[in-house]
Amino acid sequence: MGKPFELGGIYFKTQKELDEYIRKVLEGGERVLEGQELAVIHDLLLLHSDADAKIGTGIKQIEVKRSRQGPHYCFWVVREDSSIEDFSYHKCKYSRDRLIENRRESAYREAIQKQITDYKYVQRKSNQYCDICGTQESIQVDHFQPPFLDLVGDFEGSKSDIPVEFEEAEGTLYSKRFRECDEGYRCAWQMYHKQQGVLRLLCKNHNLRRKRK
């Protein structure tokens, strides 16, 4: 690892520097991570060799807690569905491309957040039920056809100026947004999403089941 690498806004010059940082976070004892520490460990989790399975339905919070195997501390992800799982930072391999891809996905989602809430609370205002089972509880918006990442892939296929840097989205450390200088790109994506995306409402159960596929 020659060049300095960035995680959660901190530049680490060597692997040893990162190891040292991680050790300190773990030595801080049991707690829910916040601020800078959360930003770094969150980025690390995205780089885990089994990140998709670890993240599952989405990250609600990241904690330092004792390991199932012994008294030492390790990292735990608490998912949106409240299930928890530990992860080893030794399995997190730094890859700039992968980190950028992850951040970009987050920026794509941030850009269309308003379309999602408009769909749920305006268009479907009086039809708040799961399109599969009809329940009215825990209703969420799903990308029916095509799935979200396919839509992103199709959009990027027509672009040559795909952004690689992003800003923090306000209100949460988990999400990025496109920079102001990429406003044109952001608008083009919003337009594309509006025209090509087909949304539907699903109950939490059906939405989670779909995401796992």
- Residues near Zn ion (CB under 5 A) are 130, 132-133, 203, 206
- DSSP designation for 48: B
Q: By three-state DSSP, how is residue 66 classified?
A: strand
Question: Judged by CB, which is closer to Zn ion: 57, or 190?
Answer: 57
Nearest to 136 by CA among 65, 201, 212, 71: 201
Q: How far is the CB of 213 from Zn ion (least distance, A)?
A: 15
Q: How far is the CB of 202 from Zn ion (least distance, A)?
A: 6
The answer to whether residues 62 and 42 touch, using CB atoms and an 8 Å cutoff, is yes
CB atoms within 10 A of CB 208: 18
Question: Judged by CB, which is closer to Zn ion: 51, or 132?
Answer: 132
CB atoms within 10 A of CB 56: 16
The answer to whether residues 144 and 200 touch, using CB atoms and an 8 Å cutoff, is yes
Q: How far is the CB of 119 from Zn ion (least distance, A)?
A: 17
Q: How far is the CB of 135 from Zn ion (least distance, A)?
A: 5
Helices (H), the chain: 15-27, 35-46, 51-55, 96-111, 113-118, 148-157, 183-196, 204-212
Question: Judged by CB, which is closer to Zn ion: 144, or 192?
Answer: 144
Q: How far is the CB of 131 from Zn ion (least distance, A)?
A: 8
Question: Judged by CB, which is closer to Zn ion: 102, or 140?
Answer: 140
Question: Judged by CB, which is closer to Zn ion: 50, or 137?
Answer: 137
